Amino acid sequence: GAAAAAAAMLSLDFLDDVRRMNKRQLYYQVLNFGMIVSSALMIWKGLMVVTGSESPIVVVLSGSMEPAFHRGDLLFLTNRIEDPIRVGEIVVFRIEGREIPIVHRVLKIHEKQNGDIKFLTKGDNNAVDDRGLYKQGQHWLEKKDVVGRARGFVPYIGIVTILMNDYPKFKYAVLFLLGLFVLVHRE
Amino acid sequence: RKNVEDFTGPRERSDLGFVTFDITADILNGKNGLQTFWNKSTLKLFFIFDWNVKQLFLYLSAEYSTKNNALNQVVLWDKIMLRGDNPRLSLKDMKSKYFFFDDGNGLKGNRNITLTLSWNVVPNAGILPLVTGSGHVSVPFPDTYETTKSY
């Protein structure tokens, strides 16, 4: 009835607005959008420099560190060379040739006088250590395998990233809505 | 302490250590109590569980030096203590949870193995500190290997 008519009127106004936005305004909005993206990238690069890690924020993907961390939790990492690797620390590492980073705890270290270190890891929720996960013939991890050490965390937030990965339709929906919002929002 | 083939790692003979220990821990609800007391091999631990502490990851580690490696650290035992769990730990004659293999043969005759209790505070959200309890116990290993009977 009246509500449906009001809704129809509003959508017509909306279309008029879009038509009224001339080319110049459109370019302006696109530049605005570009600026936001660049700033975000700069902040990310800055974080990489400050923390010394190539991936200063990671999302926990598995349940191997429960009950401390669950799938979807966000971890903040640092990877400063001055910080020595010691048992009990939570490290994020990559196994040579594999892309997915693993978040586990250091169980054993053997460090030489000159600083060369080899260490073994284990997930809190796993019954055995990680030797079975390492590359064929690899018995230890080394500094070069480390992406960073977990220094802080926030629960749940990373779920969005996992959802976007597992459900591409969700990712497109989010991107579409974001794009729509930026283009239509006039300052 | 024996010299045994480390079947979980590289195929070489390494020293395997056996340690037994007692742990008595009182996790209290108080303010800023982070101390450990050692009485021979019994240790007392005081800690607070406040609103932002989800769990404590406790671990007993052995630290020592060998000819091969300037620094070795091996976790012998660990435990997850959730907020709400029974705050009293009374463990007697515990065997180590994980094999105490050395990288080589550095346990024989090693007089200075230091056992320390540490814990990782896992908050509901925020920083993840690693704390080492004050005080430690030194454990010397004998100069000879224990021999096992073969049948």
pLDDT mean for each 10 residues of chain B (151 residues): 41 55 48 37 54 84 87 88 69 68 74 80 86 68 58 42
A64 is catalytic: yes
Q: CA A144 → CA A34, A60, A79, A152, distances in Å? A: 35, 21, 11, 22
Q: Is A130 a catalytic residue?
A: yes
Q: What is the pTM of this model?
A: 0.73
- Counting the structural domains of chain A, the total is 2
Mark whether A90 and A72 lie in a shared domain. Answer: yes
Same structural domain, A47 and A65: no
**Minimal Cα distance from A87: which residue of B?**
B73
Residue A72 shares a structural domain with residue A148:
yes
3-state secondary structure of B134: coil
pLDDT, average across residues A105-126: 92
Sign of the dihedral through C-alpha A128, A134, A137, A141: negative
Structure tokens at A71: 């799938």
Q: A106 with A151, same domain?
A: yes
pLDDT band at A10 (very low <50, low <70, confident <90, very high): low
* Beta strands, E only, A63-171: 74-78, 90-93, 102-111, 117-122, 141-142, 146-154
A116 in any annotated domain: yes
Q: List the domain range (segments joined by +) for residue A147.
A: 57-155
Do the domain assignments include residue A8? Answer: yes
Task: Tell me what pLDDT residue A96 has.
Answer: 86
Closest Cβ opposite residue B61 in set A87, A118, A129: A87
Arithmetic mean of pLDDT over chain B: 66
Which residues on B lie below 8 Å from A105 (Cβ)? 57, 120
CATH label of the domain that carries residue A61: 2.10.109.10
Q: Residue A102, Cα to own-chain centre: how many angstroms?
A: 13
| A117 plus A44 within the same structural domain | no
In terms of domains, do A69 and A35 share one? no
Residue A141: predicted pLDDT: 93
Nearest residue to B107 via CA among B146, B65, B136:
B65
- Closest A-chain CA to B55: A68
Tell me the H-state helices in A21-112: 23-51
Higher pLDDT, A1 or A187: A1
Close Cβ partners of A108 (under 8 Å, ≥ 6 residues apart): A87, A119, A120, B72, B73, B74, B75, B98
Mark whether A63 and A39 lie in a shared domain: no
Task: Answer whether residue A185 is part of any domain.
Answer: no
